[in-house]
Amino acid sequence: MDCSPKNPAARRYQYRLFTAMAFYIAFLVTAVWAFSRYHVTGALAYLLAVLPALPIVGMVVVVGLYLAEEKDEFQRAVLVQSLLWGIGATLSVTTVWGFLENFVQVPHLDLYLVFPLFWFFVGISTGPLKAKYK
């Protein structure tokens, strides 16, 4: 999980994650370009819209693979707990914001922002969790 991972599972994780990110950028640029140029409609529009989400799904799978492959129990435990804190915080924020949207008409939170929001919370919780075990 560090910048220069020492174990093979973490190395594979980083490699797969960067590959998925590269696909995400490529697919997002393709979708934006196609929609701005061709005014796609119908089923093709849905297929093209889903394109940038595929590498995101890939990233989720990559994290699952890492958890299955990681031999270092400490690293695995820290990541699992960070992910749980991340989803707890994300669900809290989306629920609060959802009720605010329904009752008070606050600005709409785009659904694709849930994924970066989740990782933001995972990132925040990783530090304190690592410090707790030191």
Q: By CB under 8 A, name the binding residues for other proteins.
A: 31, 35, 40, 45-46, 48-53, 56-57, 60-61, 63-64, 67, 80, 83-84, 86-88, 91-92, 94-104, 108-115, 118
By C-beta, is 18 or 112 nearer to other proteins? 112
What's the min distance (Å) between Cβ of 110 and other proteins?
Answer: 6
By C-beta, is 3 or 43 nearer to other proteins? 43
By C-beta, is 88 or 127 nearer to other proteins? 88
What's the min distance (Å) between Cβ of 97 and other proteins?
Answer: 5
Taking the CA atoms of 33, 34, 39 and 40 in sequence, report the sign of the dihedral they define: negative
Distance between first and last Cα of the chain:
16
Nearest to 35 by CA among 25, 24, 47: 47
By C-beta, is 31 or 78 nearer to other proteins? 31
3-state secondary structure 23-51: HHHHHHHHHHHHHHHHCCCHHHHHHHHHC
Yes or no: say if 27 and 52 are a contact pair by the CB < 8 Å rule: yes
What's the min distance (Å) between Cβ of 45 and other proteins?
Answer: 4
What's the min distance (Å) between Cβ of 66 and other proteins?
Answer: 12
The residue type found at 81 is Q
Pair of tokens at residue 68: 């299955």
